[in-house]
A = this chain, B = another copy of it.
Amino acid sequence: MSRWGVLVLLALSEGTLRWGELRREVDGISEKMLASTLRTLEADGIVVRTSYPEVPPRVEYSLSPLGEELMQRMLPLVGWVAEHAEGIVEQQA
């Protein structure tokens, strides 16, 4: 799971989101990458996709129980990296 996977999961860890919301939430992701990322995460059983047979179509994505477990372990790491990323980049100079 790549950079985009983490960002998508991060967005979903705050609650269920629709396709369009995810596109806006995950900054800079292309439609192609969002689609393939979501398909992978769904195949892995980490994300649940629910589509409502309406017009216009509505599709919601949320974390599965497995996904919740995963994020519980991933959030501390992501937080730490976010805090230290700046310092790490600086130090390289």
| A73 touching B80, Cβ below 8 Å | yes
With a CB–CB cut-off of 8 A, which chain B residues contact A35? none
Question: Least Cβ distance of A58 to chain B in Å?
Answer: 26
Residue in A46, A69, A73 whose Cβ sees the most chain B Cβ within 10 Å: A73
With a CB–CB cut-off of 8 A, which chain B residues contact A92? 43-44
By the criterion of a CB under 8 Å from any partner CB, how many residues of chain A are at the interface? 17
Q: Main secondary structure on chain A at its contact with chain B?
A: helix
| B74 touching A77, Cβ below 8 Å | yes
With a CB–CB cut-off of 8 A, which chain B residues contact A76? 73, 76
Q: Is the C-beta of A88 less than 8 angstroms from some C-beta in chain B?
A: yes
With a CB–CB cut-off of 8 A, which chain B residues contact A46? 88
**Of all chain B residues, which has the CB nearest A70?**
B80
**Top 8 A-B pairs, shortest CB-CB distance:** A73-B77, A73-B80, A73-B76, A45-B91, A44-B88, A43-B92, A74-B77, A77-B77
